[in-house]
Amino acid sequence: MSAFEAVTFDHWNTLAYEDGGELRGRRIAAWTTMLADAGVDASTEIVTIAFEAAWDQFLVHWAAGRHFDGAEAAGVAADALPVAVDAPLRARLVDAFVRSGDGVDFHLADGIEECLSALKDAGLKLGIVCDVGFTPSTTLRDHLDRRGLLRYFDGWSFSDEVGVYKPEAAIFEHALTTVGNPEPQRVAHVGDLRRTDVAGANAMGITSVRYTGVFDDDPQNGPEADIVVKHHLELLPALGL
């Protein structure tokens, strides 16, 4: 019998990833067009600078563990524009910002579907523990559903629904409730980031697995995981399955 009852996965750069800057580019292009259509003089460069202000605020909140959603980010960006926008236009800009990922097919990490299928066949519960950036969890789940992966998961814990980011215990604790409340020692968490995924799992007594197949985090960013894998199909033997 396996020592594990459940495995949770990070989303970004673990289950799926985007082409570099794709969503940011879509947001900038949408705002530039919308502002021009409304007769507002705002170039791509001006919109880009406004978005940098939103990103800076996100990083502050992320480091503090406080959720900062896409609508809040869009508000910061709108306030950073050097021109005034009226309330109806502001509402449309916020909506376009939040919905920029709708219908986008992100790339799936190599071997992830085979890995999830094998874990389910082994009788394990599966969950997601995700720090949401500016793209809401509804959009991320819709994408996983379209690609046939959502069916493998018994539950999930997204920061825009729980209210905190990893490594806060609350987001991991919520995830455990969605996969049957196993003891943390019977759970593994797979993610790419040392500060959030690895440190958060370690603090909970969960076996940490750092996945390097999309992004290999710098050692200065936090502790090393109990297990490191470059491909998802390495996970099963690493967990003794």
Domain boundaries, position 185: 6-18+105-238
In a shared domain, residues 36 and 71: yes
In a shared domain, residues 195 and 223: yes
- In the predicted structure, residue 19 carries a pLDDT above the cut 90: no
In a shared domain, residues 79 and 29: yes
Domain count along the chain: 2
Structural domain ending residue among the three candidates 86, 101, 116: 101
In a shared domain, residues 117 and 10: yes
Q: Which residue matches tokens 């750092």?
A: 210
pLDDT value of position 66: 87
In a shared domain, residues 87 and 121: no
pLDDT level of residue 41 (50, 70, 90 thresholds): confident
Residue 204 lies in a domain: yes
- Which CATH number fits the domain that encloses residue 132? 3.40.50.1000
pLDDT level of residue 1 (50, 70, 90 thresholds): low
In a shared domain, residues 175 and 68: no
In a shared domain, residues 150 and 92: no
Residue 188 lies in a domain: yes
Tens digits of residue pLDDT in 183-227: 999 999 999 999 999 999 999 999 999 999 999 999 999 999 999
pLDDT value of position 75: 95
Strands 107-108 and 6-9 come out as: unpaired
pLDDT value of position 131: 96
| Distance in angstroms (rounded) separating the CA atoms of residues 130 and 17 | 13
pTM over 0.85: yes
pLDDT level of residue 42 (50, 70, 90 thresholds): confident
In a shared domain, residues 13 and 52: no
- In the predicted structure, residue 95 carries a pLDDT above the cut 60: yes
Q: What is the mean pLDDT of the chain?
A: 95
Residue 1 lies in a domain: no
Tens digits of residue pLDDT in 129-157: 999 999 999 999 999 999 999 999 999 99
Structural domain ending residue among the three candidates 83, 101, 119: 101
Structural domain ending residue among the three candidates 101, 128, 147: 101
